[in-house]
Amino acid sequence: MRSLFITSLLTTVVVAHAEPASDAALATAEHLASAARAACRALGREVAVAVVDASGQTLLMSRSASVGPHNLEAARRKAYTALSTRLATLTLGRQVRSQPDTAALQYLPELLLLGGGVPWRAAGGDVAGAGGDVAGAVGVAGGGGPENDDACARTAVDSLRHHP
């Protein structure tokens, strides 16, 4: 219980000192969320979506009323995991399950090794691939499985190529 209190206190201190998001960052977050929801609707699914910036600060969280509330936290943790590890969470989860040396990653409190988290790169790199600094990540949950969540998140990140 004491460590939970200390963790909560530290989280509060970090959030209290977080920089406010810029209008451009919020516009990008809204674009990503809209694109992810549209991609999942095309699959016949409603979802929860979260977007984090390069520092891990949550910029946006939203969910359809038909999606369970636990999916909102799952989406946030998927986005955080993708940002922190700089890998799509579907890829990361599969790597962890196939490599015993990395299995302990599943026990880190904020990481969620389920498909649906995808980082995006700053200018100079492939949007969802290599090169460039990681600018943030999007997380999707509730889309009917890790492959669907991953596909919707990747579609959202890919849509940044056409977003000003």
Per-residue pLDDT tens over the stretch 70-104 = 999 999 999 999 999 999 999 999 999 898 888 88
The residue ranges of every structural domain in the chain are 23-162
Which listed CATH number (3.30.450.150, 3.40.50.10490, 3.40.50.1100, 1.10.340.30) goes with 23-162?
A: 3.30.450.150
Residue with tokens 């579907």: 90
Task: Provide the whole-model pTM.
Answer: 0.83
Per-residue pLDDT tens over the stretch 105-127 = 888 889 999 999 999 988 644 55
Do the beta carbons of residue 116 and residue 149 sit within 8 Å?
Answer: yes
